[in-house]
Amino acid sequence: MSREHNPIARLITQIQQKWINDIADYPEIQLIRWLIKPDQKRLYKGFLKLESSEHGSLPCIPVVLLTPFNDIDKHSRSLVNDWIESFKNDKDIQKAIANNDFAFDWDVELYENKLKDSENDDVLLLEMLESFQKAIPDNELPLVLSLFPNAVQREKDYKKWLDRLVSIGFPKHVKIMLFDDVNARDFDDVMEKYSTISKSLSVPLDLDGAINKLATMGNPNDPEVKFRSCLIEMGNSVSKNDLSRLHKWGNKGLEVTKVTGNKSTYATAHVVYAGYLFNFKEFEMVDNLLQKGMALAKQGLLGGDKICEPIIVQNYGLQASSKQLQKQKNEAVTLFCKQADAAIQYNLGAQALSAWWLAYSVIKKKDKAKYELIVVKAYHYGTSLPKDVLKATCMNFISADCYTIHENKRDLKTCEDIDIFMRELDGVTWRENIEEKRKEMEKRKLTLLNWF
């Protein structure tokens, strides 16, 4: 599909044009904040991915780091380390340098050594950025460090870290790009404090419209295109609080996918329809659709369709949520645990942790023994997963609950082991971070079902 006819690509073009109009000709602007809606994150990540490739069109060199923010005193060090690792692992750059395809003389080993002995990681980060920018063949081209952390443990500390970094002063031709929730505007104070070098950007983007156009492009007689149209109409039905309209498009989605003979697609139609019915508390029909969808997915898996694996995991979770909302707690816990088992079987470990967390949260006040059993099981499984995977999961909540269980039993050795593990994962203030998140959940009246 050509870029001109791709509605998502046209939105990215709008973002690019905003930068060109508001930033490109203003070298004094070194701190750039995009104000975005939460549902636009994937779009902006797509923009960053495009600009980091040979297809980018901005008059600058953007380098994207997704480094999670865990500790205010270690974040700059983590960024330097991730920058070095990304540079060394970029096969295209290393091949081009080895072949002398372009003049780029940057001493990565120098900064590896400096990192070992660094006394001020903030200064080192800025020094490294300046050194890298000067090594670019066109050394008048700005280098833009684009910060899009996968996770932020403490928003207040993240803002303090940014303030501290900016206060040092940016080198010439070095900029920082960051992203802020347009509703929360966490970085307003920093932007105002450094108003002479900062600028906030926002673009009115019709993302829903673009997605709808993209979803319905293609042959209108194609079952896949027909089903995407049904998905859009089911979503519109919920927005309009129209149950009869939802039934119309839900049943049409089932009809369209049935004729394909594809079990995974037909199972997905059942799951999606059931998911939308949660909004109307139609639990009898929800349960019926999910049971039929589960049977279809298992049949598809037996036939060799691996796409059915995540469908089965999702289906168990929705069945459990339905039972939980119907106050059938024991059934909900059993289904959440089945979801965890299926996730492990299909190598979806992060989802297993979420399922166990939901399971023991449901049973906590009703069955202490079962609660503790699930918590401990979840914790021990979590410690077997890679740390970069754990950073984007609920492992911190699980660890805190496991710590409390062993603390109440005066098992200080196990508490110490948990603390050591979590300090490496989430910093020395990991327990304080969890308490702050719990308070935030209560303040916003968030439920476990929508936290992740």
Question: Which tokens sit at 275?
Answer: 């998911």
Cβ-based burial of 201 (10 A; exposed 0-12, middle 13-18, buried ≥19): middle
In this predicted structure, what is the pLDDT of residue 446? 37
- Region 426-448: mean pLDDT is 71
In degrees, to the nearest 5, what angle opens at C-alpha 317 toward C-alphas 313 and 320? 140
pLDDT at position 400 over 90:
yes
Question: What single string gives the DSSP state of each residue in 209-255?
Answer: HHHHHHHT-S-TTSHHHHHHHHHHHHHHHHHTT-HHHHHHHHHHHHH
Measured distance CA(67)–CA(216) in Å, rounded: 36
- Region 285-306: mean pLDDT is 96
What average pLDDT does the chain have?
87
In this predicted structure, what is the pLDDT of residue 340? 97
pLDDT at position 436 over 90:
no
Picking from 370, 311, 302, the residue whose alpha carbon sits closest to that of residue 337 is 370
Question: Which tokens sit at 126?
Answer: 């800025």
**Amino acid type, 49:** K
**pLDDT classification of 138: cutoffs 50, 70, 90:** confident
- Region 321-334: mean pLDDT is 95
- Region 269-292: mean pLDDT is 95
pLDDT at position 62 over 70:
yes
Look up tokens 């691996």; give the residue.
306
Picking from 148, 149, 160, 185, the residue whose alpha carbon sits closest to that of residue 69 is 149
Picking from 286, 284, 315, 283, the residue whose alpha carbon sits closest to that of residue 299 is 315
- Region 255-278: mean pLDDT is 93
pLDDT at position 222 over 70:
no
pLDDT at position 22 over 70:
yes
Cα dihedral across residues 181, 183, 188, 189: positive or negative = negative
Measured distance CA(405)–CA(410) in Å, rounded: 9
pLDDT digits (tens, 9 = 90+) for 97-132: 566 655 667 888 999 999 998 889 999 999 999 999
**pLDDT classification of 353: cutoffs 50, 70, 90:** very high
In this predicted structure, what is the pLDDT of residue 141? 87
In this predicted structure, what is the pLDDT of residue 447? 38
Return the number of other C-beta atoms located less than 10 Å from residue 105's C-beta. Answer: 8
Comparing 434 with 104, the larger pLDDT belongs to 434
pLDDT digits (tens, 9 = 90+) for 182-199: 888 999 999 999 999 999
Return the number of other C-beta atoms located less than 10 Å from residue 337's C-beta. Answer: 22
Comparing 395 with 101, the larger pLDDT belongs to 395
Picking from 438, 360, 443, the residue whose alpha carbon sits closest to that of residue 405 is 360
Provide the whole-model pTM.
0.64
pLDDT digits (tens, 9 = 90+) for 360-391: 999 999 999 999 999 999 999 999 999 888 98
Long-range (24+ apart) CB contacts under 8 A made by 363-368 are 363/329, 363/330, 363/333, 366/329
**pLDDT classification of 47: cutoffs 50, 70, 90:** confident
In this predicted structure, what is the pLDDT of residue 95? 67
Asked which of 316-325, 337-346, 358-367, 426-435 is least confident by mean pLDDT, the reply is: 426-435
In this predicted structure, what is the pLDDT of residue 392? 80
Comparing 113 with 7, the larger pLDDT belongs to 113
In this predicted structure, what is the pLDDT of residue 31? 96
**Residue 329: its H or E element:** helix 329-345
pLDDT at position 418 over 70:
yes
The contacts of residue 114 (CB under 8 Å, 6+ apart) are: 124, 127, 128
Measured distance CA(450)–CA(452) in Å, rounded: 6
Asked which of 136-150, 338-352, 362-376, 414-428 is least confident by mean pLDDT, the reply is: 136-150
Burial string for 58-86 (b: 16+ CB within 10 Å, else e) reads bebbbbbbebbbbbbeebbbbbbbebbee
- Region 408-427: mean pLDDT is 94
Compute CA 402 distance to the chain's CA centroid, rounded to the nearest angstrom. Answer: 25
In this predicted structure, what is the pLDDT of residue 106? 84
- Region 321-344: mean pLDDT is 96
| DSSP assigned state of 152 | B
Comparing 162 with 212, the larger pLDDT belongs to 162
- Region 153-171: mean pLDDT is 92
Measured distance CA(160)–CA(63) in Å, rounded: 22
User: In sequence order, which ranges of 23-56 are alpha helices (DSSP H)?
Assistant: 41-51
Interstrand relation of 61-65 and 143-147 (parallel, antiparallel or unpaired): parallel
E-state strands within 105-231:
143-147, 174-181, 198-201
